[in-house]
Amino acid sequence: MEDLTDEELDAYILTHLRILGVDLSVLPEDDRSAPADQRRILSSARRFLRTTPRAIADFPLDPQEVPPAMYPVEMTGAGNAAD
């Protein structure tokens, strides 16, 4: 994703949003006073796509610390013998 130009990435984002039924054209193109505008949404989506997938793919997993073991759930609630 980081090799794509802003225009190419915008086309990718807009296509995926259209497939999901999201139409950004109902928002102003560039209006700082609006809660959201097309420019800011596309900029945020480009930043996410250029950084997050790589960070997730590069996250080191230790086989001894799979996510459930890293964040164990406290055993409480209905049906627990300790209650």
Tell me the per-residue pLDDT of 4-54, one tens digit each, with 9 for 90 and over: 999 999 999 999 999 999 999 999 999 999 999 999 999 999 999 998 888
Region of 77 on the Ramachandran plot (φ > 0 left; ψ -120 to 50 alpha; else beta): left
Say how far apart CA 14 and CA 20 lie, in whole Å: 10
pTM here is: 0.65
Domains of the chain by residue range: 1-53
Q: Does residue 80 carry a pLDDT above 70?
A: no
